[in-house]
Structure 1
Amino acid sequence: MILYNNTKGECELKTGYFVTGFPGFLSEQLLKEWISGSVSKSIYLLVMPSMQKQASERLEELKKINESQSVFHIVQGDITKPDMGMTHSASAYLKDKIHYVWHLAAVYDLAVPKSTAFQVNVTGTHHVNEWVRTLPNIKRYVYFSTAYVAGKRNGVIKETELIRPEAFRNHYEHSKFEAEVLVEKMKSEVPVTIIRPAIVKGSTKSGDTTKFDGPYYLMNIIDKVKSIPVIPYMGKSSAKLNVVPYDYVIQAANYLAHLPEGEGKTYHLTDPYPYPAREVYRFIMQEQAGRTPSFTMPVKAVQLTLSIPYVRKYIKAEKEGLDYFFWEAEFDQSQAEEDLRQSGIECPDFVKAIPSMVRFYEENKHDKRFHRKIK
């Protein structure tokens, strides 16, 4: 059922875009990227019934900055169901109108239970794939994976490979790997582009985000320990922490999805010059608290501390996130860099954006809407 249309009429000549995952953070940023341009689009947003009110409210806000005069439509559905939960009439109506499918819907939670992760990320992707196969005018199927489908592999991780690791750190990684396997097989049937972002943070300039997770867990920890007499490093490691701002991810993905050379490729949207996790912690500590860690707390002690539910809830950090501070692997993004070369789109330096991250965090740290529920 198509429930929302922001215009009285629709130009049939508009390019049709179908997006899953709205009103999620990245999908909303993608819409902002599209409507800031000059090309008008017909944008169909698959929205779960429980999210319909929130989606409509977000679209009303987007209408105010819709420079492209694109047309928005809410399509009620659920990717965990066959035909993505759409009515037969809605599915049939859309098939001839869709040229680009962007599949961003997923459970982005390192502590997610296995059943939920696989139902949404794997079964859901299977249902999206099945529908995409029926689209006669499809120009590109864009799937948002994650660079962490590499699991516990070490060494250099390449864009051109999808190797099953010996183990995964969590059900999120595992489910996203299995989902990407399904989409990878689609490359022989439809024009596919797979996007593998690193850990995504807020805007390069403003630092704005909607959830304090990923590197923001560090800020939660620092906020709690900044007043103690001596502050420790969390374990000793030379591993690098790969974090990219959402504006880089969205701009790069949008460019590559429309690039003829992007068909059939997988891209790492990762930082080519990541900083060691230990340095990231120190840089944020200095900016946020004006202090420097003075000793190293053994990693086992950190793990034990974060295994206590009360402690996790108090400092607002998931223990699963700690694993990425000790992962000895590097992403090769040469394919993305080569195809982005003419666009002028580059991943900005992480450290230079720390002041804006900290400023936004300090302004919003008491707002519960920004914090994930810690178990």
Structure 2
Amino acid sequence: MNVLLTGATGFLGTIITNRLAEKGYEIYALIRNETKAKDWLDTLSLNTKKAVHFVYGDLLKPSGGLTDKRINELTGKIDSVIHSAAYLSFDDNERETVFQINRQGTRELLKLAEKLDISTFLHVSTAYTLGRGKEGFEALYQPENREFVNAYEESKCYAEHDVMSYQEKFHVAVLRPAIIVGNSETGDADSTFGLYGVMRAVELMKRHVQKQRNSKLDSFKIVVSDEEKTHLVPVDYVAEIVTGALTKSVNGSVYNVTNPYPPTNGMIMSAIRDGFDFQELEWVSFDQTEQLTKLEQKMNEPLAVFEPYLNRTIDFSEKNTRALLDRLQLNSLAMDRAMLDRIVAGFRHRNEQPEHV
């Protein structure tokens, strides 16, 4: 089977590429930047490289930027599409760009898929298209009646509707990962967002505390609700489900790729504190910010965009996902403290630099 993959050079896309190659698929990666694509290709194993073919295009252009000639060449060669490309930004000033890429780009890709006469279209969305709710369903949400945290969530919600409108033309499915983190076994990750933004802030806090060892500064506070739970999902777990859905998903279905037993934020922060050997780190809830010093307030500012994700526990239904896992003969995610430790270590090893006290 031959798969047209968007977002191949991204964090999740790279792992999806590797899994597809391991399963014997040929990958046609939709590429906009040739230089970036070639650099990315050099990071892949020889076997994966052999399975990758570049398709130059642009999702912001009609039919993904492919000429009629190129479309004719690919028609009959492409069986399926995995759309994992997205523009992840929580900046209100980028609302127009977010919608152009995440919604209009999806629309153009659907048109291209129809011209290519593909059989299956998988859309990688986000679990947070539920907006500010606390209960996530495996069904489409109505964007007009929903309050969203940011334009990214909203754009992905509309894109899901666009995808589902094609289910009479070809097999479609929507996969909604929660907060993607590193490999479950190695902790390896190529990401700077989500949990990695939090760890980067902790890293900076530790450096500051070390510089102040001769002062009375004996702790540093980060704002995170201790008892709330956060749905972290390892990138390899997500990739396994996405690639498996090519043959085992049900047409018109939505899958919440979330964590059946999400860790508490206290458990996550304990793993970060110990992994960074930063015993001065403390965490307080969002209603205790008056305890923060001016310096702590300043260093917590970049984390404000994550408050809607770290200050509530969401219950996600996953009946469809469990059924898909059964068909794939895969176990549900079982994230324990040891896995969290590996994920933290993966970040530290990638970013570790000699520290000067």
Same fold (TM over 0.5): yes
Q: 1:350 to 1:111 in 2, by over 3 A?
A: farther
Q: Specify which of 101, 105, 120 is matched with residue 120 of structure 1.
A: 101
Q: Specify which of 297, 305, 309 is matched with residue 320 of structure 1.
A: 305
Q: Specify which of 152, 173, 176 is matched with residue 156 of structure 2.
A: 176
2:5 aligned with 1:16, yes or no? no
Q: 2 CA distance for matches of 1:297 and 1:240?
A: 13
Q: Specify which of 143, 159, 163 is matched with residue 138 of structure 2.
A: 159
Q: Is the 8 A contact 1:43 1:70 kept in 2?
A: no
Q: Specify which of 298, 319, 332 is matched with residue 334 of structure 1.
A: 319
Query: What's the offset of the Cα at 1:223?
Result: 1.9
Greater displacement, 268-277 / 195-204: 268-277
Output one character per residue of 1:290-341: Cα deviation in whole Å (capped at 9) or x when no partner.
5275563644748x999x9x946xx794421222111342111121012212
Q: Secondary structure at the match of 1:327?
A: coil
Q: Specify which of 41, 59, 79 is matched with residue 41 of structure 2.
A: 59
Query: What's the offset of the Cα at 1:233?
Result: 5.1
Q: Specify which of 5, 8, 29 is matched with residue 15 of structure 2.
A: 29
Q: Is the 8 A contact 1:23 1:58 kept in 2?
A: yes
Output one character per residue of 1:186-228: Cα deviation in whole Å (capped at 9) or x when no partner.
2232100111000000111111111232112221222233434
Q: 1 CA distance for matches of 2:102 and 2:293?
A: 30
Q: 1:346 to 1:70 in 2, by over 3 A?
A: farther
Q: 1 CA distance for matches of 2:198 and 2:7?
A: 27
Q: Secondary structure at the match of 1:133?
A: helix
Percent of aligned pairs with the same amino acid: 24
Unaligned runs of 5+ in 2: 210-216
Amino acid at match of 1:248: Y
Output one character per residue of 1:144-164: Cα deviation in whole Å (capped at 9) or x when no partner.
11101111112x211134233
Q: 1 CA distance for matches of 2:263 and 2:317?
A: 15
Query: What's the offset of the Cα at 1:80?
Result: 0.8
Amino acid at match of 1:45: A
- Alignment root-mean-square deviation, CA: 2.9
Superposed, which structure 2 residues align to 1:1-375 within 5 Å? Answer: 15-37=1-23, 39=24, 41-48=25-32, 51-62=33-44, 64-66=46-48, 71-111=51-91, 113-136=94-117, 138-154=118-134, 156-164=135-143, 166-226=146-206, 227=209, 228-232=217-221, 234=223, 236=225, 238-259=227-248, 261-291=249-279, 296=284, 298-299=286-287, 301=289, 311=298, 317-342=302-327, 343-365=329-351
Q: 1 CA distance for matches of 2:181 and 2:321?
A: 19
Greater displacement, 241-250 / 83-92: 83-92
Q: Is the 8 A contact 1:222 1:289 kept in 2?
A: no
Q: Is the 8 A contact 1:236 1:278 kept in 2?
A: yes
Q: Is the 8 A contact 2:173 2:251 kept in 1?
A: yes
TM, length-normalised to structure 2: 0.86
Unaligned runs of 5+ in 1: 1-14, 368-375
Q: 1 CA distance for matches of 2:82 and 2:37?
A: 17
Q: 1:239 to 1:188 in 2, by over 3 A?
A: farther
Q: 1:77 to 1:311 in 2, by over 3 A?
A: farther
Q: 2 CA distance for matches of 1:295 and 1:132?
A: 48
Greater displacement, 249-258 / 57-66: 57-66
Which residue of the partner structure matches residue 371 of structure 1? none
Q: Is the 8 A contact 1:143 1:183 kept in 2?
A: yes
Amino acid at match of 2:274: Q
Q: 1:320 to 1:124 in 2, by over 3 A?
A: same
Q: 1 CA distance for matches of 2:334 and 2:47?
A: 26
What is the number of residues matched between the two proteins? Answer: 341
Q: 2 CA distance for matches of 1:297 and 1:148?
A: 22
Amino acid at match of 1:269: V
TM, length-normalised to structure 1: 0.82
Q: Secondary structure at the match of 1:194?
A: strand
Which residue of the partner structure matches residue 212 of structure 2? none
